[in-house]
């Protein structure tokens, strides 16, 4: 054993161990309770210094590892913390001790950044061990028999919170933040590797939520977020992070189901799944051999030029297409896909889904509702200002979390309304009206929309797909909320919705952004594709409806990209912009001559905008989406079909979809051995679309045989018009 290289310098280990044992230990006198060492407070301070001056300064994890070995957290810190009885709030010494413990716990539970520029060999040596240690800490904290570790930690911060905000010292602010950071760390910790014997159940989200609720931490979070901007100021980011890690990937719809509904739904889901499986089994039996596997059948497929391809196995006898499928399946070669160096296709946090257990669910639901009622507006408007200011306390990931949370809570609010409306007595119309959308108003104002827009543009430009995904979700949810507002029984809500839509659809740049994002799809994970197509779908639908309701809709578009001085000096915020633009309409010609106008208001033409979606890039994104048909539910399938319908039927850009791989895909979805099962709700619509598609295609092929070649390719712009209409565009113009 001595030959093994030491992971940690033995001297350091000795130091840490001696400090830990000097801290205190199990008493032999008082029924085996914990008794503090004489210099416990000094020991805590020393340990803290070790962590700070050795680990942090030299960028190592040696001390943290020694502490994990010494069982410091469970053996000492938690004992000290739990020893602080409820009637000893005023006890200064105990409070100091508790603070010392928290000061150690925070760095010990700090999340690891696995692949940063600063990581060294040492990190890779220690992190795997420390991750397990952290999971152990979390388990010990949540399961501690005293059941007051969390509330005692909370109590550490209470004296500082009691001081009015303007009288707080830096130390007070620091303590509040420290406690919040501890909770952030606690909810962030996940089990590093789940095995059969260690399922990580003890530290799952449900258990965490239950413990946090029982020990009043959730209430504390509500207080912090609802008093944001008043009693609290710089703690906004940390508070948001705690909430983010609590909320992320939780399935919202399930939270708002009652137990009865949920069990019924589970039953239905199970039935549906079993039925699907049954169909799958039958489909696979259909293609299977009816004889034993050495029966030996060989079939050849003869072509017109008398060449033959051979296929073996009985299945080949079934029909030409199965034989061809078999022929294809026997080919070993695969097209090299190219390495995904940037990791674009890697799944992210956004692609997960999580269901809470029954008891935690109820607690979580009431937290979510309380947060929406009290904390949503103050916290998010405060954060939005911080983001706009580029405040120092924000890191890159925070903005992503911000948009993710907005999307999540907006959706939660919408679902809450829906469940309330469903539960309310239909005859009694007076009560449900009382709630207005004011609860989520802070993210629907102009400033927030601008922030969102700017971030989306940034992230698209820099190809940061994961943050972009959260922003897209946020945008979709804002649109959906506005849509709900527009049909609200309250007059005010309807008016505001009208206003917001006006603003949303006023800038052409915003509209174009949606198209550009859709076109930017390359190989992002499925979740991204889902969010992207949903955003496009909702956006197009709302814009269409809105432009139908308003005959004279104006938008602001960029005319020339050249810088224009005169206008910028004339200035004008968004509010004043409208009358100004009108004045300029008169001078329009003159200005156009000078080509100085950068922005111009013009009548909005929906069909012109829709035409931007009629490009191969956009169609390809939706094709990639529907390529995942096995995982799509009815709504998602429908979304894709509606888009294709838009392209193919409404706008008659059939050529865009006339491609052999598209035919192959549609055919596979409907006819293939692993296509949509018969019971799939979207099958009927898909079937109808495909039949229409094939009829058009056959007619077109008979009319223009050159399409046989063009079926192989993405169409070239110069010939697309000819293919579609049978004559060249130019000829028509010259006539």
Partner 1 sequence: KDGTKDNLGLDEEVKIKRKRINAKLDEARLLREDIGIPKLRREAPKRLRFKGKGHEYRDAAKLLSYYQLWADDLYKKAKFRDTLQIIEKLGHSRRMKMEREGWIMDDNKKTSGDTQKEA
> CA angle, 512 as apex, 509 and 665 as ends, to 5°?
170
Q: Please report whether residue 722 would count as binding partner 1 according to CB under 8 A.
A: yes
670 part of the interface to partner 1, by CB under 8 A: yes
As a whole number of angstroms, the distance between CA 723 and CA 735 comes to 19
Rank residues 270 and 698 by Cβ distance to partner 1 and give the closer one: 698
Residue 714 CB, nearest approach to partner 1 (Å): 6
DSSP for 15-65 reads: HHHHHHHHHEEE-SSSTT-EEE-TTHHHHHHHHHHIIIIIIIHHT--HHHH
Q: Work out how close the CB of 536 gets to partner 1 at its nearest, in angstroms, rounded to a whole number.
A: 23
Which DSSP helix (H) or strand (E) runs through 701? helix 683-703
Among 14, 194, 421, 694, binds partner 1 (CB under 8 A): 694
Nearer to partner 1, 334 or 608 (CB): 334
Is 309 a binding residue for partner 1 by CB under 8 A? The answer is yes
Binding to partner 1 (CB under 8 A) within 1-40 occurs at: none
Closest approach of partner 1 to the CB of residue 732, in Å: 14
Question: Which one, 439 or 723, has the nearer CB to partner 1?
Answer: 723
- Name the segment binding partner 1 (CB under 8 A); options: 173-181, 435-443, 477-485, 711-719: 711-719
Instruction: Output 114 or 695, the one with its CB closest to partner 1.
Output: 695
Which residue has 């943050």 as its token pair? 467
Stretch that binds partner 1, among 365-373, 411-419, 640-648, 664-672 (CB under 8 A): 664-672
329, 311 contact by CB (below 8 A) = no
Whether the Cβ atoms of residue 114 and residue 128 lie closer than 8 Å to each other: no
Give the binding range for partner 1 (CB under 8 A) out of 323-331, 345-353, 570-578, 594-602.
Answer: 323-331
- How many positions of this chain bind partner 1 (CB under 8 A)? 48
d(CA 31, CA 617): 74
**Around Cβ 665, how many Cβ atoms within 10 Å?**
17
By C-beta, is 5 or 705 nearer to partner 1?
705
**In the complex, minimum distance from the CB of residue 67 to partner 1, in angstroms, rounded to a whole number:** 55
The whole-angstrom separation of Cα 401 and Cα 370 is 20
Among 572, 708, 725, 732, which residue interacts with partner 1 (rule: CB under 8 A)? 708
Q: Does 660 bind partner 1 (CB under 8 A)?
A: yes
Q: What is the dihedral of CA 191, 195, 200, 205, to 10 degrees?
A: 80
SS3 251: coil
The CA distance from 400 to 464, in Å, is 10
Alpha-helical regions (H) of 189-250: 205-214, 217-226, 236-247
Q: Are 671 and 664 in contact (CB under 8 A)?
A: no
Phi-psi region of 265 (alpha: psi -120 to 50; beta: other; left: phi over 0): alpha
Both tokens of residue 118? 């600063």
When binding is defined by CB under 8 A, the residue of 321, 355, 431, 595 that contacts partner 1 is: 321
Give the Cα separation of 604 and 617 in Å (integer): 24
Which of 296, 691, 730, 732: binder of partner 1 (CB under 8 A)?
691
Q: Which one of the spans 133-141, 343-351, 470-478, 712-720 is the region binding partner 1 (CB under 8 A)?
A: 712-720
- Record the tokens describing residue 375, joined without a space: 């904390």
Nearer to partner 1, 32 or 338 (CB): 338
CA atoms within 13 A on the CB side of 83: 21
Q: Please select the residue that binds partner 1; options are 706, 725, 730, 732, rule is CB under 8 A.
A: 706
Q: What is the DSSP letter of 351?
A: G
From the CB of 669, what's the least distance to partner 1, in Å?
Answer: 11
Options 187-195, 362-370, 517-525, 716-724: segment touching partner 1 (CB under 8 A): 716-724
Which residues have C-beta within 8 Å of that of residue 153, sequence separation ≥ 6?
81, 98, 102, 105, 179, 182
Q: Which of 167, 304, 491, 573 binds partner 1 (CB under 8 A)?
A: 304
Contact flag: residue 612 with partner 1 (CB under 8 A): no
Give strand pairing partners of 34: 26
Cβ atoms within 10 Å, residue 94: 19
> Which 327-356 residues touch partner 1, going by CB under 8 A?
327-328, 331-335
- The residue from 664, 681, 684, 730 that contacts partner 1 (CB under 8 A) is 664
Binder to partner 1 among 17, 41, 318, 324 (CB under 8 A)? 324
Which residues of the chain form contacts with partner 1 (CB under 8 A)? 301, 303-304, 307, 309, 320-321, 324, 327-328, 331-335, 659-661, 663-664, 666-667, 670-671, 690-691, 694-695, 698-699, 701-702, 704-706, 708-714, 716, 718-719, 722-723, 728
């Amino acid at each position: 054993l001595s030959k093994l290289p030491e992971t940690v310098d033995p001297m350091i280990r000795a130091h840490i161990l001696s400090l830990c044992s000097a801290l205190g230990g199990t008493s032999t006198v008082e029924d085996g309770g914990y008794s503090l060492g004489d210099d416990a407070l000094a020991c805590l301070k020393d340990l803290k210094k070790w962590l700070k001056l050795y680990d942090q300064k030299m960028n190592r994890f040696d001390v943290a590892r020694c502490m994990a070995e010494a069982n410091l957290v469970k053996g000492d810190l938690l004992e000290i913390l739990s020893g602080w009885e409820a009637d000893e709030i005023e006890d200064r010494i105990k409070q100091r001790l508790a603070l010392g413990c928290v000061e150690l716990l925070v760095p010990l539970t700090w999340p690891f950044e696995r692949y940063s520029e600063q990581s060294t060999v040492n990190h890779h040596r220690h992190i795997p061990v420390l991750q397990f240690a952290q999971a152990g800490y979390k388990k010990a904290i949540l399961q501690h028999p005293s059941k007051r570790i969390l509330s005692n930690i909370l109590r550490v911060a209470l004296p500082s919170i009691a001081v009015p905000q303007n009288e707080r010292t830096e130390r007070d602010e620091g303590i509040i933040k420290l406690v919040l950071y501890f909770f952030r760390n606690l909810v962030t910790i996940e089990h590093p590797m789940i095995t059969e014997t260690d399922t990580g159940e003890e530290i799952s989200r449900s258990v965490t939520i239950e413990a946090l609720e029982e020990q009043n931490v959730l209430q504390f979070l509500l207080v912090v977020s609802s008093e944001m901007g008043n009693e609290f100021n710089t703690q906004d980011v940390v508070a948001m992070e705690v909430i983010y890690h609590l909320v992320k990937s939780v399935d919202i719809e399930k939270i708002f189901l009652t137990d009865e509904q949920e069990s019924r739904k589970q039953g239905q889901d199970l039935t549906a799944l079993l039925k699907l499986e049954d169909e799958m089994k039958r489909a696979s039996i259909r293609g299977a051999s009816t004889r034993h596997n050495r029966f030996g059948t060989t079939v050849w497929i003869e072509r017109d030029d008398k060449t033959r391809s051979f296929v073996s196995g009985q299945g080949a006898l079934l029909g030409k297409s199965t034989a061809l499928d078999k022929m294809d399946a026997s080919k070993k070669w695969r097209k090299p896909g190219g390495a995904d160096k940037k990791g674009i296709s890697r799944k992210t946090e956004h692609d997960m889904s999580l269901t809470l257990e029954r008891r935690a669910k109820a607690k979580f639901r009431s937290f979510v509702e309380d947060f929406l009622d009290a904390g949503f507006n103050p916290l998010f408007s405060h954060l939005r200002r911080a983001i706009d200011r580029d405040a120092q306390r924000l890191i890159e990931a925070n903005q992503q979390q911000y948009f993710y949370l907005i999307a999540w809570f907006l959706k939660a609010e919408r679902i809450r309304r829906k469940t309330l409306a469903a539960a309310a007595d239909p005859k009694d119309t007076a009560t449900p009206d009382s709630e207005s959308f004011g609860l989520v108003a802070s993210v629907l104002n102009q400033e927030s929309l601008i922030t969102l827009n700017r971030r989306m543009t940034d992230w698209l430009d820099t190809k940061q797909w994961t943050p972009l995904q959260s922003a897209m979700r946020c945008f979709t949810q804002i649109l959906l909320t506005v849509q709900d507002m527009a049909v609200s029984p309250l007059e005010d809500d309807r008016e505001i919705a009208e206003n917001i839509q006006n603003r949303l659809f006023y800038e052409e740049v915003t509209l174009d952004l949606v198209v550009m994002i859709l076109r930017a799809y390359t190989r992002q994970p499925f979740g991204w594709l889902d969010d992207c197509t949903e955003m496009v779908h909702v956006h197009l639908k709302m814009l269409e409806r809105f432009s139908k309701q308003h005959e004279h809709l104006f938008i602001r578009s960029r005319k020339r990209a050249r810088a224009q001085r005169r206008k910028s000096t004339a200035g004008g915020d968004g509010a004043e912009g409208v009358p100004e633009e009108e004045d300029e309409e008169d001078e329009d010609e003159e200005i156009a001559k000078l080509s100085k106008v950068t922005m111009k208001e013009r009548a909005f033409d929906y069909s012109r905008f829709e035409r931007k979606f009629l490009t191969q890039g956009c169609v390809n994104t939706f094709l990639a989406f529907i390529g995942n048909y096995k995982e799509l539910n009815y709504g998602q399938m429908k979304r894709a079909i509606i888009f294709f319908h838009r392209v193919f039927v409404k706008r008659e850009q059939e050529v865009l979809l006339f491609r052999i791989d598209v035919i192959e895909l549609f055919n596979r979805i409907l006819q293939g051995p692993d296509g949509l099962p018969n019971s799939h709700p979207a099958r009927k619509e898909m079937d109808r679309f495909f039949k229409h598609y094939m009829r058009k295609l056959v007619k077109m092929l008979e009319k223009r045989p050159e399409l046989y070649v063009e079926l192989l390719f993405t169409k070239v712009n110069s010939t697309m018009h000819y293919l579609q209409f049978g004559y060249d565009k130019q000829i028509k113009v010259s006539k």
